Structure 1
Amino acid sequence: MTVVVVSPCAACKILRRRCAEKCVLAPYFPPNDPIKFTTAHRVFGASNIIKFLQELPESQRADAVSSMVYEANARLRDPVYGCAGSICQLQKQVSDLQAQLAKAQAEIVNMQCQQANLMALICMEMGQSNPQPISPPQQSLENFPMNYLDDNIGSWETLWT
């Protein structure tokens, strides 16, 4: 008869209790990753984690633990906003990048117009009859948010830092 000694899960090891055969925490907090449970325990508490996992179907528990650990890490970095603070920061970054893109697109259109006018001047200087200015391609303006420029002209100065 072989006796298999199974190491208690990280949660039971940290809580200094015997790890039962049907420990609800064992599948999600392996003994080789105690930081995962320590982080979640510090923010949510062991009893809340256990209660929460028992209320969920087993198919959703792994995702729930992953979310709890992610939120716990975010809460330790930013106790007030947690991962919502990270989301707001990323949304601001996207907004800033959209403004930079709009400005770059406007500059491209402006340069294309300048190039077309310059080509028309060169043609006139060379004595060609009926010079036609070359118009910039309209396809670059299709996705250009024209109202964006009106609303955000004052914020362009901060984009060039």
Structure 2
Amino acid sequence: MANAVPVVQKACAACKHQRRKCDQNCTLANNFAAERSNDFENVYHLFGMQNTLKILKSVEKEERNATIESLIMEAGMRLEHPMHDHFSVARKLGFEVEKTEKELEIV
């Protein structure tokens, strides 16, 4: 009879932050592995734990990965541009697109 070796699951970044055991039912474990602790910290500081979970529960399971990536991107933009966040970056890119389109019309 072989000895069963218990599988030890490494706590995700969210559970590690809360100092609790990460189990199979953890909503954030798939997206915030321990290696993505910086991403989790950014999302946590911008949205908070309860809002992050509320956002995830409001979308279909199939859309959760994209939602998490969007939250990570938005939190990263806020970190890089604390005064203007992602809206100013999007507006700046929009102006650059318009400028490039006008240049192409001239050529």
2:13 pairs with one of 10, 13, 29: 10
The superposition leaves residues 77-109 of structure 1 with CA deviations (integer Å, 9 ceiling, x where unpaired) of 223432111111111112222333344x3xxxx
Q: Give the C-alpha shift of residue 74 in structure 1.
A: 0.8
Alignment of 1:134-145 (within 5 A): none
Gap regions ≥5 residues in structure 1: 106-161
Larger-gyration structure (1/2): 1
Q: Give the C-alpha shift of residue 56 in structure 1.
A: 2.1
The residue aligned with 2:75 is 72
Gap regions ≥5 residues in structure 2: none
Alignment: residue pair count: 104
Letter in 2 for 1:38: E
**Equivalent residues of 1:24, 1:54 under 8 A apart:** no
Distance 2:34 2:100 in 1: 43
Cα root mean square deviation, aligned: 1.6
Determine helix, strand or coil for the equivalent of 1:33. helix
The residue aligned with 1:81 is 84
2:55 pairs with one of 52, 56, 73: 52
The superposition leaves residues 16-59 of structure 1 with CA deviations (integer Å, 9 ceiling, x where unpaired) of 22213201111111122211111111111111111221222211
> Normalising to structure 2: TM-score of the pair?
0.85
The residue aligned with 1:137 is none
The residue aligned with 2:95 is 92
Higher mean displacement: 38-47 or 12-21: 12-21
Determine helix, strand or coil for the equivalent of 1:34. helix
Letter in 2 for 1:30: A
Determine helix, strand or coil for the equivalent of 1:21. coil
RCO comparison, higher one (Cα < 8 Å, 6+) = 2
1:42 pairs with one of 40, 45, 52: 45
> Normalising to structure 1: TM-score of the pair?
0.59
Distance 1:5 1:98 in 2: 55
